[in-house]
Structure formats: C-alpha cells, structure tokens
Amino acid sequence: MNRRTLLRLVGRAGGAAAVFTNMKALGLLPGAARGVERPQLVAQSGEGVKIAILGAGMAGLTAAYELSKAGYDCTVLEALDRPGGRNWTVRGGDVIGEMESTQTCPFDRNESLYFNVGPARIPYHHVNLLSYCKELGVPLEVIVNDNRAAFFQDDNAFEGKPVLNRRVANDTRGFVAELLAKAMNGNALDAEISPEDRESLLEMVRSFGDLDPDLLTYQGSGRAGYVVPPGAGTVVGTRNEPIDLSELLRSDFWRFKLQFAEGFNQAATMLQPVGGMDQIARGFERQIGDLITYNAAVSQIRKTPAGVQIVYTDKTSGSEQSLEADYAICTFPLSVLSQIDADFSPAYQQAIAAGSQSYVNAMKVAFQARRFWEEDYQIYGGISWTTRDITQIWYPSGGFHSTQGIVVGAYIWSNDIASRWEPMSPEERLMQAIEEGEAIHPGYGNEVSPTTGCSIAWGKVPYSEGGWMGWNSEDLESAYLTLLEPDDRIFLAGEHLSYLTGWQEGSVLSAFEAIEGIASRVQGVG
C-alpha cells in the first residue's frame, strides 16, 4: 500500500484530524507547530511596518488585533459591511443575500430571537477563542449540545416514528452490556481477563447497562424514561419497554449519532456568547474598528519590489482604490481567493485551485415560533436527529420560558443534500423543512410557518462560497502543505489552514501562524 492510498483510507475512517496525525507520524508535516498559543510580540516591534489584512473574519480580526498591539500599521479590507465573515448572527430586519436571492429576516426584535447562521458553539478546550471572549468582555453561557429529551427519527426503523434519545442510547447500552455479560459467563473472555479482574468487570458491565443483577439481562431501565413517570403516593412509575435490539440495529443512529456528543469537539461543556455568536466579532470591532475598511471588494493581489499592492473597489462609491503594504495576510476562503487576479506562484495557484473545490456547502433553516418544544416536549436545548434531508432540528439554549424562540429547522452539511436544496427558492426551502420536520414533531406545520422563517445556503453566499473546508487526503498531502508557507510576502490564514477546519479556533490558530511568520521576517529571524 502506498502512502497516498493509506492516507485516503485513514481519511475515510477518521476524517481530517486522523489524516493530519498520520501525516505527522510519517514525517510529512513540518516539525514543531508554532500556532498553538497566542504570540508574544515585543511592544513596538512592528513600528513602521504596514500590513494589509484581507478579510475581517475571525482570522483577520485576530491578526489585526495582535499585530496592532505590537505597533504594526494594519489595514483590514472587508467586502461586507460588518465584521466576522462566517461568524454571522441574523436578527429581525437583517438581510441575507445569496447569489440569486435576498431574504429579510422576519423575526421580532428581541435579544433572545437570533439565528447563528454560521458557527453556533464553542468547545470548552478552544482556549484561545475563549480567552478572547474574556479579554473582549463577551459574556458566555452553556449551550446544550446533547439532550436525552430530544428525538431520533429514522424512516427505516421504529416504524418511522420519533423515539426519545434516552431510549435509543440506554437500550443500546443495555443490550451491549447483556451480550458482554453472557460472553463472560460463558467463559468466552477467560483468555482476555484475569480471574481477579473478572468479578470487577462483571460488576462494571452490570452498572454500565443497568442489567438485572441476578439474570444479567437487560429488561429495560429507568434511564430510558417512563411512560408514566414516578410520582407521589403509590405511583412508582411505568418504565418504557425496551426497543428490540434488531430494531436498534436497523436504524443508522448507532453509526455515529449515538456517540456524537462524545466527540472531542462536541463533548460538554459547550459554550455560546450571550445574544449571538457575532458578539465576538463585535468585541474585536470595539478594539480595532478604526483599522477596518468595510465595503472594500478586493480584485487584485500584486507583488511589488517593496512588498504588496492590493487593488479593491469601494462598493459604496464604485471607485477603484489601491493599498500598498510591506506584507499581506489573506484570510479569504480558497473558493473566493481562486477567483481573484493575483501574482501567486504557479505552485500556489495550483494549490489554491485544488482547495477551492473542497468546501462543505452547509445550509441552515430557522423559524420563530411558540416554544412548543419546551411546553409540549420538555426539551430545553439540544438536537433532534432525522435521516431526512434536514438532518437536525436545534432547540435554543437561551431565553428559556420566553413566549417565542428561534428553532433551527434544518442543519445540513452534506453536499449531496445541498445540491438538491440550493436550487430551491428560499420559500421552497422553508416549506420542505416544515414537511420533513413533521416526522419529528407531528403537527409541526401548525407551529412554524414560512412567514416567520429564513434560510442560508453557504455555497451561494458571496465572499464565502462554502461553509468550511473539507480537505481530501490527496490535497492534504500536497496543496495544504504548500499553502502553509507564505508566497513571498503574502501569508494565508483561515480555518482552512488548521487542524480544526470548520471551527473558529482553527481560524484563530492559523492567524497566530501568520503573525509569527511576519514577526520573524521583520526581526530578521526567518
């Protein structure tokens, strides 16, 4: 098996992070990783050095904030009229512009009625992003990422009916524990465990699966919930009957959704800024807003004997402008950068073109509605899953017991599904989401309406053209490594140049790499 084939198989099994790990083990990645913690630049070390930063997303904001503190003269060019890039929170009256359509968000104006159309959660171990939240005065709250009161729905199992998360999760664990207990009692594992460990392991299995202590069989568990919950007096409660093991195996949820909340980037505690994810971008803007030129659409990136020249159009006046700088940090998604007239080397151009084809065209749909999920189902935050195109329904983790809330009625990250949904009109997407949501919440169409909903298709959003990077193993071995290095005085940054594609922490860390690279050049180290 050659190296490329090995990495392709690893990528299929474990995703990009697994490929990165194996590439490092094979010696295909640079040795010491620099971008793991915030750069410590010497005060005024950048005096007299001008930096052009292209894009006011999280990578661009981070770079401008850190470099300006060290005395660098930074100008941020942003094509939009707001900071954050894909860190975008939509509220009532905001406009969502796609290439062929425009929507005006119909939500009421209320601090808890918002829609994070981009990133919506922060893992507890994304320490650099969280440190900026603290430094910039952005308050945080817990987001419920996994909820046992939410539902699993599979058209090919459970008669197509929604089943409580807690039933699927705990019945699955119960049957697995029973099978292991039977194997132990049949001496099938005698060669694997010592006699001293056998009794402890058996007790652990009993506890893990909530097995009958005498029969070591799974006969249901209070962990899976109750038809009649325990109450006062003589009401001991009636537990849900176990779902048949063959029915559980027929569903697709055990493949990854069952353990979704155990993933490194999905496990509790997950956090969110109070009032919307864009509070982080606004926090940066409060500090460095005077460095940002909005409505500046970059059209050319040129190398000059003294550094770089950036040509852009002022979208307000329509005039063409030019910015000269010693260095540039370009944070554009490769899907956008590939369309800009630039003086990159042939190898760089080729790498950008390869990466531009690998974006995940994520989509989201959201509705304002009566908080029926709380009132009727006792769901406070979390996610319901379905095998239908909408994939997920997200329930808000803030504004509990308010009259109205914003429910995310679809979160799609499959390009196959996106290819069916992107051509739809915004109203058609809303109608489709309502129809498919009925499988999880019967009567859903009586609770949500196209008149109170909006959607986003990231593959059709100008200046983004994709939700996040989905590197394939071949390009990780070639294009990714090429773009990690600067092209003369032009550095790239963004989530696409990190181990954490799709996460804001990845953008921040990639900015650290560019900052360190420029600082080394200026100080004559590298």
Q: How far is 70 from 93, CA to CA, in rounded Å?
A: 39
| In a shared domain, residues 65 and 119 | no
Domain assignment of residue 201, given as a range: 165-251
Answer yes or no: is 11 within a domain: no
| In a shared domain, residues 131 and 213 | no
**What local confidence, expressed as pLDDT, does residue 359 receive?**
98
**What local confidence, expressed as pLDDT, does residue 220 receive?**
96
**What local confidence, expressed as pLDDT, does residue 63 receive?**
98
| Number of domains making up the chain | 3
| In a shared domain, residues 451 and 414 | yes
Q: What is the mean pLDDT of each run of 10 residues along the chain (526 residues)?
A: 52 50 56 67 96 98 98 98 98 98 97 97 97 98 97 96 96 95 87 86 95 95 95 95 95 88 95 98 98 98 98 98 98 98 98 98 98 98 98 97 98 98 98 98 98 98 98 94 98 96 98 97 76
CATH assignment of the domain containing 95 = 3.90.660.10
C-alpha pair distances (Å), 404 with each of 2, 27, 29, 83, 509:
57, 54, 50, 28, 37
Alpha-helical (H) ranges within 454-503 are 473-477, 479-484
**What local confidence, expressed as pLDDT, does residue 20 receive?**
53
| In a shared domain, residues 452 and 367 | yes
| In a shared domain, residues 376 and 272 | yes
Answer yes or no: is 113 within a domain: yes
Query: Angle at Cα 150 formed by Cα 144 and Cα 156, nearest 5°?
Result: 135
Answer yes or no: is 487 within a domain: yes
Nearest to 70 by CA among 280, 301, 288: 288
| In a shared domain, residues 366 and 417 | yes
**What local confidence, expressed as pLDDT, does residue 253 receive?**
87
**What local confidence, expressed as pLDDT, does residue 252 receive?**
87
| In a shared domain, residues 120 and 106 | yes
| In a shared domain, residues 298 and 215 | no
Answer yes or no: is 155 within a domain: no
Nearest to 117 by CA among 151, 149, 85, 140: 85
CATH assignment of the domain containing 479 = 3.50.50.60
Q: How far is 275 from 34, CA to CA, in rounded Å?
A: 33
**What local confidence, expressed as pLDDT, does residue 388 receive?**
98
Q: Can you give 80-96 as a three-state secondary structure string?
A: CCCCECCCCEECCCCEE
DSSP 487: B
